[in-house]
Amino acid sequence: MLLIIGSLNANAAAMEDDVHSWLQRMVSAVHTLNYEGTFVFLHNAQLESMQIVHTVDNGGEKERLVSLNGVPREVFRDNASVTCIAPDAKSVSIGNRVSGNGLRAVFSVDISQLSDYYNFHLLGEQRVAGRSARVVAIIPTDAYRYGYRLYLDTEYALPLKTDMLNVSGVSISQLMFTQLQVHTSSREIAEISLDGKENYQWVQQKPMRAISDAQLSGWSFRDLPKGFDVTLHSKRKAKNQAGEIDHFVLSDGLASLSVYVEAAADVGLRGSSTMGTVNAFGNEVAGYQVTAVGEVPALTVERIAKSLQPSK
């Protein structure tokens, strides 16, 4: 009997190591390989088709995304910034690059930090974009976060398909490559060039001013779901009123959301709001509007919004 139990434990450990290995390979592949292709993104009952070119050279990572259907859009990312081009609106927005959310966040997953809140499983193999893929499931241990199902290319470990799953295990958002090429050397990504750029409105997003714990704003979270912690606290001036807006980012290492605190107004959100995978909850606390929003279940934004209280 002891031999059988020992064998089962050894097999379970080997399986966990195998899942860990696949996810480590995925994280490395997404950020270090040179690849280009076309993928479709299904969310909020809308289907978008995008073209991507990702390259790595001495200057670091560079990535260009171009929409192939619907409203024209183009996004350019490098190590420092994100530039979004909207030709229909004649606008260019430039902001600092930040860690990914939602489907992009899973591409930097770290099992060692998440094992208390998620279970990891191998689910066999399937075929995506004409390529063999190993299927990995990331299943939350409670109802406060979404799960994922990843289809990783067996050769390169790039995610050929990614499903975001609700608490019932039903897919609520999908990203899937229809064509993918991996290159052995970096690819040329042309610099941004706009016809009639003098007619575009250029918006340089001002970063919020990060503050340390010693300068905390007078607010504290008192009943957070297990695993969620404040990873960023910053401030910025309110646009249309006096005072400042406090911005908190909370994360469990995979799921993340934002909480905004500002002077209460009649137009502030009260109660719940949902748009596809994004949920929001707003209420008034001590004369301030508190709004929590992110790609997490409705239960999560409500609990976190209600957990914010003035510090004593």
Model confidence pLDDT, tens digit, residues 169-228: 999 999 999 999 999 887 777 655 566 556 666 665 655 555 555 455 688 999 899 999
Segment 41-46 mean pLDDT: 85
Mean pLDDT of the chain: 84
In the prediction, which pLDDT does 311 show?
Answer: 82
pLDDT reading at 239 higher than 80: no
In the prediction, which pLDDT does 4 show?
Answer: 44
pLDDT reading at 71 higher than 60: yes
In the prediction, which pLDDT does 108 show?
Answer: 83
Q: Are 87 and 66 in contact (CB under 8 A)?
A: no
In the prediction, which pLDDT does 13 show?
Answer: 47
Nearest in space to 182 (alpha carbons), one of 151, 163, 157, 162: 157
Question: Which pTM does this prediction carry?
Answer: 0.83
In the prediction, which pLDDT does 86 show?
Answer: 78
How far from chain centre, in Å, is Cα 24?
17
Segment 119-124 mean pLDDT: 94
Residue type, 264: A
**Structure-token match 């606290």, residue found:** 233
In this structure, the number of other CB atoms found within 10 A of the CB of residue 92 comes to 19
Name the more confident of 202 and 300: 300
pLDDT reading at 264 higher than 70: yes
Least-confidence region, from 41-45, 64-68, 307-311: 41-45
* CA angle, 312 then 213 then 263, to 5°: 60
Q: Where are the alpha helices (DSSP H) in the chain?
A: 2-32, 102-105, 111-114, 298-307
Taking the chain, what is the end-to-end CA distance rounded to the nearest angstrom? 57
Residue type, 103: L
